[in-house]
Amino acid sequence: MYIPFSCLPGPPLAGWKRFQGMKMDPRARASTLIEALPYIQQFAGKTIVVKYGGAAQVEKDLQAPFAQDIVLLKYVGINVVVVHGGGPQIGETLRKIGKDSEFIEGLRVTDEETVGVVEMVLAGSTNKGIVRLINRLGGNAVGLSGSDAGLTSARKLTLNRKSESGEDTELDLGQVGEVKQVNPAIIHHLTDGGFIPVIAPLGVGEDGNVYNINADSAAGAVAGALQAEKFILLTDVPGILGKGGDLVSTLGRDEVESLKDSGVIQGGMIPKVDACLDALASGVHKAHIVDGRVPHAVLLELFTDEGIGTEIIRGA
C-alpha cells in the first residue's frame, strides 16, 4: 500500500502541498521508513484510540488518507480504536425534517425527537460510512455504539448556572449524557480478533434511555478504560497554541491547567484538553491534539521525530 509521508521542511500542510505531484528520491523514501521504524516497534501490540471528527471527517479529500492511516496502524500490529463525532451530519438531518438545532454552551439540546435522529445518524449512516471506508481500503472495521454489549453506561448531564438574580438554576439539555462507565470487553474481543472497532458516542442510562455524549469526552473515556498507549484527538487547529500564538509541541498537566486559567486555552479547546487530561488521569500514557486538516496527520504525529501537533503528558 502506498502511504505518502511529507518529509519536506516547513509547516506540515505546506510541505504536503509541495510534495504532491513530485517524485521523492528513493533515499528520502527509505529515510522516512527508517524514521518510522522505532515508533512502529515501540507501539506494536499497544492500543491507540483516535477521535475522528472535524474537517478530517467531513471533507472528502481527507477521508481516504485518514482511513489509510488507520489500516496501516493495524497492519503493523497496533490495536487501533476509532471514536467518531457527527455534529454536522446531525444538524443537516434535522434541517431536512424541519427541526431547528438548539445549543446551550456548545451542547446540542436533545429532546425525544432529536435523540432519535442523533442515534440514527451516529450509530447508522455516519458510523457505517466510516466502517465501509476503512474496509474498502483493506481494513476489518466493525461499527459499535454505546448500546452494544453494555459498552457505555451514561447518566444525564446537567449544567448548573447562576441566573441574573444570582440564584442557582439547572439547565435542562434533554437526553444529553456523560460517561458513567465504559466496559471495554467487546473492544478487547474485537481487537484481539484483528478487527478495528469504530464507535459512535452514545450511552445508555439506568432508565434505559439513549444519551447523546460529547464525542471528545466519549473518546477520552474509551481511551482511559483501555489504558491506551496514546489518545489522539483530531481537530481543526494545529494543536495547542501558547501565549505568543505559536504551536506548543509538549505540555504537562500543570502547564495545561495554567494556560486554561490564564485564558490562553479557551472556547472549544477546553473540552478537548479536558478529555485529554481525564484520559491521562485514567491511565493513558500520552494524549495528542493534532490538526486533522493535514493529510495523514495520525501517521505524521506517531511515526515522525517532530510530530505535527501537541502532546500532553502526565508530568508537570
Contact 212, 155 (CB under 8 A): no
**149-153: average pLDDT:** 95
Q: What does pLDDT average to over the chain?
A: 88
Q: What is the pLDDT of residue 7?
A: 37
Q: What's the pLDDT band for 281 if we cut at 50, 70, 90?
A: very high
**46-313 maps to CATH 3.40.1160.10:** yes
Q: What pLDDT is stored for residue 32 in this prediction?
A: 84
Going by pLDDT thresholds of 50, 70 and 90, the confidence category of residue 8 is very low
For the beta carbon of residue 60, count every other beta carbon within 10 angstroms.
6
| Segment of 28-32, 104-108, 144-148 carrying the highest mean pLDDT | 144-148
3-state secondary structure the chain: CCCCCCCCCCCHHHHHHHHCCCCCCHHHHHHHHHHHHHHHHHHCCCEEEEEECCHHHHCHHHHHHHHHHHHHHHHCCCEEEEEECCHHHHHHHHHHCCCCCCEECCEECECHHHHHHHHHHHHHHHHHHHHHHHHHCCCCEEEEECCHHHCEEEEECCEEEECCCCCEEEECCECEEEEEEECCHHHHHHHHCCCEEEEECEEECCCCCEEEECHHHHHHHHHHHCCCCEEEEEECCCCCECCCCCECCEEEHHHHHHHHHCCCCCCCHHHHHHHHHHHHHCCCCEEEEEECCCCCHHHHHHHCCCCCCEEEECCC
**Mean pLDDT across 77-82:** 97
Q: Is residue 11's pLDDT more than 70? A: no
pLDDT digits (tens, 9 = 90+) for 84-113: 999 899 999 999 999 988 888 778 888 889
Q: Measured between alpha carbons, how far is residue 158 from residues 9, 102, 176, 212 in Å? A: 47, 16, 8, 13
pLDDT at 316: 63
Q: What is the pTM of this model?
A: 0.88
Decide if pLDDT at 21 tops 70.
no
pLDDT in tens, 217-275: 999 999 999 999 999 999 999 999 988 889 999 999 899 999 998 989 988 888 899 99
- Phi then psi for residue 178, to 5 deg, are -130, 155
